[in-house]
Copies of this chain bind each other. A is one copy, B any other.
Amino acid sequence: MAVTIRDVARVSGVHVSTVSRAFSAPHLVNPETRVRVLAVADDLGYRPNRAARALTTGRTHNLGLIVADIANPFFPPLIKAAQAQARLRDYHVFVADTDEDPKVEEELIQTLTKQVDGVLLCSPRLTNRTIERLRQEVPFVLVNRRVKGMATVLMDVGRGARLAVEHLTGLGHRRLALVTGPSGSWTSKEMQEAAAAMSEVDVAFLGPNPPTEQGGRAAAAEVIASGATGVLAYNDLVAIGLIEGLAERGVHVPGDISVIGVDDIVAGRLGRPKLTTIAMPTATAGRIAVDMLLQSVDSEVATGVTMLETALIIRESTGEAHS
């Protein structure tokens, strides 16, 4: 049915091994033979079967990309960049969504390991222990999660949080709140630690919350109760939900409370008010993560930490504190 290496061999009058080598070890075959074989292959429309190749080489030329929620606008640019970068290197990528569920995440990794050469774990919710166990089975690169000894791409959200807090205090805010994310989130913890380390300000930690608009809206009452006038939200979706929730309760942003988000998603730029936010270099992260992964697939060593810069983008959701 499909044309195989044997068809090509027969038509071009050489042994299958020669055809194989014409593709995967060109220097081992006479240039003339090679062009002839390739011509025949092209003629017949031959395309190597990757599954068969994987069987002997142990390389599938596939990668796995696991994210918590594809529909969360933080991820698509990362997915897009990762997938494009992989394609440059002749790799395909499986994309899987865990629905923020660590159980699903682990299962997914398990079933994927046999089919991929490496896995990109983005913002995983698994415990460090589980990650360390799973790493035995397949090379990993983590994005936005730090586990010692593992290859990692981080975005400096700690610095972002500090900039955000400074921005708020600079506007005169004295009581701050941090609307945190899911409990397994490294980003969330990082933000907390950064904020907590700034001893001169008083910041309340409210959470954990689901990293969604609903999560933000639901946190509105708590924020009001905390008495904070400056808020840093886990991400833009939460910030947007929070602003809506506050509005429903008659609290105005930035008039009464200033809100800062994280991620710089498109919706934030268009919202009312336009969101002040910490921009995350997600596309860059995706690209670099793929490169690190492929490198560690080849070299067997999977280490190194890359830290990417974040930036505070000041728009309209933050303003001077009153009184």
Contacts and interface: CB of A to CB of B under 8 A. Distances in A.
Interface of A: 2, 47-52, 54-55, 60, 62, 69-71, 73, 75-77, 79-80, 83-84, 87, 92-97, 99, 108, 110-115, 213, 240, 265-267, 270-272
B49 A52 contact: no
A110 B45 CA distance: 10
A94 B92 contact: yes
Contact of A270 (B76, B108, B240): B240
Contacts of A213: 266
Instruction: Kindly list the 4 A-B residue pairs having the minimum CB-CB distance in the complex, ordered from nearest.
Output: A267-B267, A95-B95, A70-B80, A51-B51
A115 B51 CA distance: 7
Contact of A92 (B75, B79, B112, B266): B112
B93 A47 contact: no
Contacts of A50: 114-115
Q: How many copies does the complex hold?
A: 2
Contacts of A52: 51, 55
A239 B54 CA distance: 46
A70 B87 CA distance: 14
A83 B60 contact: no
23 contacts: A47-B110, A49-B114, A51-B114, A62-B115, A70-B77, A70-B79, A70-B83, A71-B76, A73-B73, A73-B266, A79-B95, A83-B97, A84-B99, A87-B96, A94-B94, A95-B95, A240-B270, A266-B267, A270-B271, A270-B272, A271-B271, A271-B272, A272-B272
A213 B55 CA distance: 45
A222 B95 CA distance: 40
Contacts of A87: 96, 108
A49 B278 CA distance: 43
A244 to B, nearest CB: 9
A52 B50 CA distance: 11
Contact of A267 (B94, B114, B270): B270
Contacts of A95: 79, 83, 93-95
A92 B112 CA distance: 8
A49 B213 CA distance: 40
B92 A115 contact: yes
A75 B159 CA distance: 32
B70 A97 contact: no
A148 to B, nearest CB: 25
Contacts of A111: 47, 92
Nearest to A70: B80
Contact of A94 (B75, B76, B93): B93
Contacts of A94: 62, 92-95
A99 B51 CA distance: 27
Nearest to A65: B95
Nearest to A95: B95
